[in-house]
Amino acid sequence: MLGFGLITVFWGNFGQSFFISWFGAAIQRELNLTATTYGLTYSAATVISGLSIMILGGLIDKIKIQHFVLLSSTGLFLAALFMSQVQSVSMLLLAFFMLRFFGQGLLPHTSGTAMSKYFSSNRGKALSISSNGVPLGEALLPAIAVALIAAIGWQHTWLVVAITVPLLFLPMALWLLKISGPAEAEQTTYSHTAAGQADGSRRTLLTDRRFWCALPLVLMPPFSVTGIFIHQGFILEQKHWSSTLFALTFTVYGVIHWCASFVTGPLIDRYSATRLFSFLGVPFAIGLILTGSLNHVYMAFVMMIMMGLGMSMMGSVVGSMWAEVYGTANLGSIRSLITSLIILSTSASPILLGFLIDHGMTANQLLTALGTYALISTILSLFSYHRRIAIPRR
């Protein structure tokens, strides 16, 4: 089951911004698009994807995981195939939507929900291991994409991506699911859920004041990281950092993200995700506020190291927390709602930060503002979930 979670997250990287961004320049040249048109098309597709996941993500609670994987992988195959044939803005919008919906959205959602439902006492470790598909993709896929684009062009590269889904991913995923043993949850007597909230429905979530205290911190990491990565050119120019240097910090970011996950998982299983949740914002607050105050070149590494630590915690801590508090019966419905909110925040971040930049905000002010957001959301999270409560299964 761990292998299934890892490869599902890894193949979901084909719908992530860090992978798609390598095709941006070629697509703009091919379709004769301005940066504004390209950016709006991408943001619109992301918003539609986020709303769609909110509606359809809960299906994973109602159908077999094998059927959901087949649906998601077929969608990713068609998305990559369609992307290889894009010839207009309208086709690009549909291709972006399909990639974001099936790649960024449903595949990681499938992995996270499966890990949370399958594992109980080792849920933290399981989510940490499966989430390593992201840093693994960040380390391997950009170089592969650049090489393929140079060798066969961007459209044929997407054709190669499409072929890998039925040829590699789907057979491996179905085989790994087939050989998985019984779920830990079926071997335990207790389910981690909040007293009086065992149903774990979306209504329960949305009427729980603790959720609204936690939400700003849940959305902060993807909002901040997306905004910084998208507007990195502006930050580098104002900080007088070279692009070569910043490319090196990406490697450091990926390594820290990957290594920290092996520590975070056992900590979750020992202390619970709810107790660790508020620590999620601390690395962001420290790294961003310090980087917003100092311009020395080493601050680029400090910022990326801190964000790597925070993003490592994001994947496993937040993923485990919903199962601990609301149980696993309707976990897919809850996770799909959270996933859609996260996707919407990543679509809003480049626009909002771009607006602030256009109206005179400096890079240091921008980073300090994001660090302040991290600090405030961390303080607010202290009034959210703070302890593990177990009640007997019915």
- The residue that leads in pLDDT, 92 or 268, is 92
Q: How confident is the model at residue 393 (pLDDT cuts 50, 70, 90)?
A: very low
pLDDT at residue 226 greater than cutoff 90: no
Q: How confident is the model at residue 16 (pLDDT cuts 50, 70, 90)?
A: confident
**Hey, which residues does 326 pair with through a beta bridge?**
193
pLDDT at residue 145 greater than cutoff 80: yes
Domains of the chain (ranges; CATH) run 1-188 (1.20.1250.20), 191-394 (1.20.1250.20)
Q: How far is CA 294 from the centre of its chain?
A: 29
Please state, as a whole number, how many other Cβ atoms lie within 10 Å of the Cβ of residue 110.
26
- Pick from 50-59, 162-171, 262-271 the range whose average pLDDT is largest: 162-171
Q: What is the pTM of this model?
A: 0.74
Q: How confident is the model at residue 121 (pLDDT cuts 50, 70, 90)?
A: low
For position 165, what pLDDT does the model report?
94
Structural element, H or E, at residue 63:
none
As a whole number of angstroms, the distance between CA 305 and CA 309 comes to 6
- DSSP track, 159-200: HHHHHHIIIIIHHHHHHHHHH----GGGG-SEEEB-TT-TT-
By CB neighbour count within 10 A (0-12 exposed, 13-18 middle, 19+ buried), where does 359 fall? exposed
For position 394, what pLDDT does the model report?
35
**Nearest partner of 104 among 265, 345, 343, judged by Cα:** 343
State pLDDT tens for residues 163-190: 999 999 999 998 988 877 545 444 443 3
Query: CA angle, 278 as apex, 115 and 392 as ends, to 5°?
Result: 50
For position 181, what pLDDT does the model report?
58
pLDDT at residue 392 greater than cutoff 50: no
As a whole number of angstroms, the distance between CA 302 and CA 290 comes to 8
Query: CA angle, 265 as apex, 263 and 268 as ends, to 5°?
Result: 110
pLDDT cut 70: percent of the chain above it: 90
**Structure token pair of residue 367:** 């980073």
Give the mean model confidence (pLDDT) for residues 16-40.
82
Q: What are the two backbone dihedrals, phi and then psi, of residue 389, each rounded to the nearest 5 degrees? A: -125, 130
For position 200, what pLDDT does the model report?
57
pLDDT at residue 201 greater than cutoff 80: no
Give the mean model confidence (pLDDT) for residues 80-86.
94
